[in-house]
Structure formats: C-alpha cells, structure tokens
Amino acid sequence: MHVGLLYSRIRQDEKLLLNELRERDHEVTKIDVRKEQFDTARPPAILDDVDIVFDRCLATSRSLYLTKFIDSYDIPVINSPETAAICADKIKNSLALEDAGVTTPETKVAYTTDSAMTAIESFGYPCVLKPVTGSWGRLMAKIDSQSAAEAILEHKSTLGHYEHKVFYIQEFVDKPDRDIRVVAADGNPIAAMTRSSEHWVTNAAKGATAEAFEVNQRVRQLVTAASSAVGGGLLGIDLMETAEGYTVHEVNHTVEFKALNEAVSVSLPTAVVDWIETKVETGKEVHAWASTTQHLLLVGPDSLAVSYYAYSRAILHLKSSKQPAVRKQKKPLEMSIRISDR
C-alpha cells in the first residue's frame, strides 16, 4: 500500500503513524504542503501511484482545501472534505449532531452583540462563548456575569475577522472535572480516555490529565451516531457526563492521539493502520468490480447480475475475515469494513 501523508509539521502523532506504516513495509510519501502547489486540473507528481492520502495538516484552512483537492483528483482521502467541512465549523458540527438526534448541548447563534446578549441571558450565568473555528480549547470564554458578557462581546465585535462577529453561545454543562475523548474509525471506538483538570476547559493541550476510559454501551451508541452524522472517518468524539447522561459536544476530524496512546493499552497507530489497510483493500475491490461492470454493461444484463452477485459474496467474505492482530492490546478491538461513498 502506498500512503501519502499531508503535513506541515511532523509531530509525535505523525512519527507514530510513520513508524507503524514503515514497519509493515508500506510505501509512504511525505507531502509538505508548504512546499507543494495544487493544480485545479491535475494532481501534482508527488501524488503519482498513491493509494490513499492521510490529511495530518495542523492548519484547518489548509486541511479544508487540500482534502477537496485530493478528492477532486479521485484519490481516497482521510478524512473526506465533507467530513472536514462539518467538523471544522462548530455551527455545522452542532447542526449535524442535532439533525441526527445525537444528544448535544443546547446552542444558539447570533450575529449582533444585542442579539448575542439576549441569547446569553436566556441561558443564564454561567454560559459559554466559543469561536466558530478553533482547537485546543483556545478563545473559549465561560461567562459568569452580565458585565463579563458585555466586555467579551465588545472585544469580539471589534476584532477584524468576520468569524468573531458570529457568536456561538452554548449552555454551560455542569460536569465532573473531566470530559471523555473517544477515537473511532468509521464509528467503531478504538480507545478512549478521560481528560481531567481543575480548570473548566478539560483539554490535553491545556494540561489535563489523561486516564483510560472503558467505553460502555451508551457511549458506543453516541460515538457511532456522531460519526455517522458527520460522514464517518477517523475521528475524535468528545463527550461530557451530566446528571441526565452523556452529551456529545464536538467531533474532531484531524484528531491527535499521542496522549490517548500513552494512557491506554491499545496501540493507536496499529489500530489506525489496520483500518487504513482495510479501506484500501475494500476500495480496490470496489474499483475492480466497477471496472468489470463497465465491461459487462456492453455484454448484457445477465452477466452484470452474475458480476454483482460475485462482488457481493466477495465483500461479505471480506467483512467476515479476521482482521490483522493488533500489537500492544489487552482488549479486543471491534473493527468493521465500510464501503466508501465514493
């Protein structure tokens, strides 16, 4: 398998993935997006013979455009541009979860300071103001009073970028001093951790302590539904515990897993590469059947029916076959094969 890795900086997460891929003798092409140009009509030469592209860009803007470019070149990409577009925007994220019936915090969006103030007062204090785009818990504000709300709204309204004038306001969830991060592949949990902190923002990037979390049935259901809501792929699903149960507050598409990998017994790089191998293998099966179908359409419907039957049997066999053993795991992984929408 030949994997193209989009990056702008090689972090520990990417090093773990690269080591795993190379240990299995897969060919890897590292693509520094700062040095490449992407033509709207044809792919750059560096993408020649690549079976799949893995987006690991730090910058959201690059990730959104590059996944769209790769998709337009008809090369499979993790994650899809549709998934990236939803996960990169908190409003789209919340709408997708709400539309799918996934339990998620109550959220309001306003476009002026006056209407934002009305939304804040409807929640009461405290409530939370978040940027529409952003990561690592940056630029989030817990609003405890009317004076704090007025000051923060004024600051945001005078900042230059138009996104600061889109006010994303959310109820404050009274949770324990932790939240839950689940890394999942097409809705199947690989591993999970809690992130604990005395600060109300429980994020590993802000120093939260990571501990392994055993995924229960309810969390599994929410993770599967949240993944489906945004289009599937390799995702980080964030949940909070409340008196009424769990709530999903965010789905991340360029998920970091170094802290999780250190907290659990499962090897995240091993599980991720297992999943990529399955996607490439399934994609080749689908491509082979599509090519055969194009030929059989010229022959007649009977031959086409036979081809589809053989293809279906092959996919069922592939689904029931045993997955490669995962090193460094004490618990069995639940992995599944999902045919791409491509």
- CATH code for 2-78? 3.40.50.20
What pLDDT does 202 receive? Answer: 67
Q: Region 239-267: what's the mean pLDDT?
A: 94
Say yes or no to pLDDT of 283 above 50: yes
Q: Region 73-89: what's the mean pLDDT?
A: 96
Q: 3-class DSSP state for residue 187?
A: coil
Check: CB of residue 240 under 8 Å from CB of residue 246. yes
What pLDDT does 306 receive? Answer: 46
Of the ranges 191-195, 245-249, 297-301, which one carries the lowest mean pLDDT score?
297-301
Say yes or no to pLDDT of 340 above 50: no
**Domain map (residue ranges) of the chain:** 2-78, 106-171, 178-263, 273-342
Give bridge partners of residue 165 from the DSSP assignment. Answer: none
Mean pLDDT, the chain, integer: 85
Residues 6+ apart with CB under 8 A from 317: none
Say yes or no to pLDDT of 173 above 60: yes
Say yes or no to pLDDT of 261 above 90: yes
Q: Tell me the pLDDT band of 36, cut-offs 50, 70 and 90.
A: very high
What pLDDT does 164 receive? Answer: 78
Q: Enumerate helices (H) and strands (E) in the chain, giving the number of each.
A: 10, 13
What pLDDT does 165 receive? Answer: 84
Q: What are phi and psi of 174, to 5 degrees?
A: -80, 90
Q: Region 286-290: what's the mean pLDDT?
A: 55
Q: Tell me the pLDDT band of 339, cut-offs 50, 70 and 90.
A: very low
Q: Cα angle vertex 199, ends 265, 124, to 5°?
A: 125
Residues 178-263, CATH architecture: 2-Layer Sandwich (3.30)
Q: Tell me the pLDDT band of 220, cut-offs 50, 70 and 90.
A: very high
Say yes or no to pLDDT of 265 above 90: yes
CATH of the structural domain 106-171, one choice from 3.30.565.10, 3.30.56.10, 3.30.1490.20, 1.10.510.10: 3.30.1490.20
Q: Tell me the pLDDT band of 301, cut-offs 50, 70 and 90.
A: low
Q: Which residue has the higher pLDDT, 311 or 108?
A: 108
What pLDDT does 271 receive? Answer: 97
Check: CB of residue 173 under 8 Å from CB of residue 105. yes
Say yes or no to pLDDT of 311 above 70: no
Say yes or no to pLDDT of 168 above 70: yes
